[in-house]
Structure 1
Amino acid sequence: MSNPLPSQPCPCGRAGTARKPLPFADCCGRYLDHFDSSPAPDAESLMRSRYSAFVAERADYLLATWHASHRPASIDFDPGAKWLGLEVRSHRQLDATHAEVEFVARQKSPGSPAVRLHERSRFVHEAGRWYYVDGDAL
C-alpha cells in the first residue's frame, strides 16, 4: 500500500477546526515523508504517525521511530490487512523526556474477525526526537 494522497483525510483521524479531519499532508504525512527534517513534536503525534505508517505499510518510518533498545530487525505486514480506525484515549507527559499514550486501533485481516489493539505505549525523547519504546496491551 502507498501513502494516502496529500489531500485525503489522514488515517490517524486527527481533526482540525470544526472537527474536520486534517488532510494527510498537513497531519502525519509531513512526518512520514520528511522524517529527517520534520520530527513529530510530541509522543501523541508520533503515535498517530506510526499508526498512519502501519496503514501505508511504511516499515522505513516505523523502524526509524522505534527506539534502538527495542527495535526489531524488520517488520512484516499482514497481507490484505485493513486498518479501520484509531482512537487516542490519553496522552500523559511524564517528564521532559518520557510520555505515555493510550490508544485503541482496529484492524481486519482477510478471513478473520476484526481485532482491537488496546495499548499503553511508552515514548522517550532523545536528541530532539520522540521514539516509541514499547507498550502494554490493555
Structure 2
Amino acid sequence: MGRAYQLELSDPTVTYFLDHFTHARVVRAMDRLGMIQDLHGQMFNLAASAHDNALALTGEFLPAHPQDAAAATLHGVLTASIPNPAGIPRHKLATGENWLIAPAEITAALAAHQRAPHDERAAVSALIDEWDPWIDFLHTAGDHAGLRSN
C-alpha cells in the first residue's frame, strides 16, 4: 500500500507512486523543511469556501436534486484552497481522499524548500532515494493544474 499522486487535467494521466514507508519519510522531510502548512484555525474558512464553491458550480443556491447538491459540495471541499498558502496543507498529504493540491500550494512548498538551508536539503536528498524525483514531480505539477492525492 502507498499513495498515488496524479497530475490534474493531464492527458494521458501521469501518476507518481510512493510506497507507504517512503511516503511517510517524504512527508516528514517536507514538514522538517517547512513545506507543509497546518490549517487548524483556517479549516472553518476553508469549509465555508468549499460550500461557496459548490454553490457556484451548481449555479443555484438550492440545487434541484439532493444528490447534485451533495456532489457539488464534495467537489467544493476536495478542491478548496486557502488564499496565499504557505505550503501544502497537511491533510492533503496525510489522506488519499482525492484532494486537489493546487499549484499555489505546490509553489509555496517549493519556495519553502528553496529557503531551507542547503545542508538540510542535501541531507534529505541523501537519505531518501525518491526525494529528488518527488521534488521534480512537484515542479511539474506546479506548472500544470496541480495534482490529486489518491
Q: Which has the larger radius of gyration?
A: 2
Greater relative CO, 1 or 2 (CA 8 Å, sep 6+): 2
Same fold at TM > 0.5: no
Higher strand share: 1
Give the TM bin, normalised by the shorter chain. under 0.3
TM-score normalised to the size of structure 2?
0.24
Higher helix share: 2
